[in-house]
Amino acid sequence: MESPSQTPYFVGIQVNHLPRLQYFSTTTSTYQPNDTVIVETGKGYELGIIKTKLRAMSDYRYPFQLMPIVRKAENRDLVAQQRNEKDAKEAMLFAKDLVKKMNLEMEIFAAEYNLDRSKLYFLFLSEDRVDFRDLLRALATQFHTRIDLRQVGARDRAKLYGAIGICGLPLCCTTFLNEFDNISINRAKNQMLTLNIPKLTGHCGKLLCCLKYEDDAYTEIKATLPHVGDRYMIEGVSFKVTSMNVLTRVIKVENQNRDIQFLHVDELNKHSKGNTVS
């Protein structure tokens, strides 16, 4: 590994068509965007395409030490990559057939060789732990290389493939999210959203990660607002809080005759509070 003084540049690289950029260091100042290079990752040697301009290492602000770019890719590397992608697709079909024959409760959805074919990776989904030792042996016998079977979650699959979210932007998991929090329906309830599950579900089939972004702000604001069911005396008539807009702080109140008023919380607080009724 080169020391910081020997690696004056860093650059963003798209590795194996994955949407999220990875960063590598280099001492070579001639690299340009769209250059194809060889990099070393946790999977071994892989092909990558430079997507950003070179930046001075003094601008690097993350705590992770960067691996250096190995070299610029040659034509033989591109040919090898095309062969690997073709063979990986066939390997995935073979593995899927084995899974079916072995009655394993798992779904293999991706396969990938590293550049020198020293490893063959399979990604799979499963709700439970799977004993895949027999599958592993069968795959190693078939492909004569080291096999790596990795169980991932539905959110990880979305991160791998990428897509456009309901906001019109690339999925958060493909751009900046490093970890996935536990997103429960309680976050939607806390934000007083309509519990329309299809609209609250992302491409992964799980609740939207973005439900967490404003959740703390809603919790903080709601602490200053009345609760649904609280009663207030308005001009001698008892009104009950039935709903509210947390962001505008406008409260909806109704009386027993179903007369409705919308009051800002500051205006509502001028009235005396009655007994709370659930």
CATH value at residue 142: 3.30.300
Domain boundary among 73, 95, 128: 73
Answer whether residue 112 is part of any domain: yes
Answer whether residue 278 is part of any domain: no
Q: What is the domain extent for residue 21?
A: 4-73
- Residue ranges in the chain modelled with pLDDT below 50: 1-5, 277-278
Answer whether residue 223 is part of any domain: no
- 85 lies in the same domain as 69: no
Query: Strand pairing partners for 71?
Result: 38
132-148: b (≥16 Cβ within 10 Å) or e? beebeebbeeebebebe
Alpha carbon 152 to chain centroid, angstroms: 12
Query: Angle at CA 89, nearest 5°, toward 88 and 94?
Result: 90
Domain boundary among 42, 73, 104: 73
Answer whether residue 220 is part of any domain: no
The angle that helices 133-143 and 75-101 make with each other, rounded to 10 degrees, is 140
Rg (CA), the chain: 27
- Residue 130, number of CB atoms within 10 A of its CB: 15
Rounded to whole angstroms, how far apart are CA atoms 17 and 37? 13
pLDDT at 30: 92
Residues 6+ apart with CB under 8 A from 250: 244, 262, 263, 264, 265
- 145 lies in the same domain as 85: yes
pLDDT at 3: 43
- 66 lies in the same domain as 111: no
Answer whether residue 130 is part of any domain: yes
- The values of phi and psi at residue 34, to 5°, are 80, 0
DSSP string, 36-57: EEEEEETTEEEEEEE-S--EEG
Rounded to whole angstroms, how far apart are CA atoms 263 and 270? 11
Taking Cα atoms as reference points, which of 269, 190, 270 lies closest to residue 226?
269
Answer whether residue 21 is part of any domain: yes
- 127 lies in the same domain as 144: yes
pLDDT at 160: 77
- 183 lies in the same domain as 166: yes
Answer whether residue 253 is part of any domain: yes
- End-to-end C-alpha distance for the chain, whole angstroms: 65
Tell the burial category of 125 from Cβ atoms under 10 Å away from its Cβ (0-12, 13-18, 19+).
middle
- 39 lies in the same domain as 22: yes
Domain boundary among 39, 73, 107: 73
Taking Cα atoms as reference points, which of 9, 67, 14 lies closest to residue 36?
14
The domain total for the chain is 4
- 195 lies in the same domain as 242: no
pLDDT at 159: 80
Answer whether residue 245 is part of any domain: yes
